[in-house]
Amino acid sequence: MGSPPMDRNGDATTHFVVAYAKIIEDKKDGVFMQGVYLGGLGDDRQSAEKIARECTNSGRGNTTIIPRLFPFTDGDSILPIMNKAETQFLGMESQMFIAEDIYSRGRRK
């Protein structure tokens, strides 16, 4: 495989994966993460941020969309980046469960 394409400064061209978590608030089940999804690929940070805004605006009703940008170069594979995104979002989900538990204990007092 050759080296990744370079920009005019000789640096590897950086693009961005936009991954997002879909957070659902349900009266019966509480707050939970439904999944992690690929929102799109941005050629630069500005286009990736636009994709992230579009993802965020797609949430409806009891759904919240939380996007994150992950840089990559042309030679990188998307799958490991999505795995990294899922790991980060799962960490966030566990923090949500802890916060929800603390909040519910506070309401019972």
- Residue 28 to residue 31: CA distance in whole angstroms: 9
* Residue-wise pLDDT tens digits, 32-55: 889 999 999 999 999 999 999 999
User: The whole model's pTM is what?
Assistant: 0.74
Q: What's the pLDDT at 60? A: 85
* Residue-wise pLDDT tens digits, 61-106: 888 899 999 999 888 899 999 999 999 998 887 777 777 777 667 6
- Domain spans of the chain, in order of start: 14-108
pLDDT > 70? residue 108? no
Residue 75, CA distances (Å) to 5, 12, 38, 47 in order: 8, 9, 18, 20
Q: What's the pLDDT at 42? A: 95
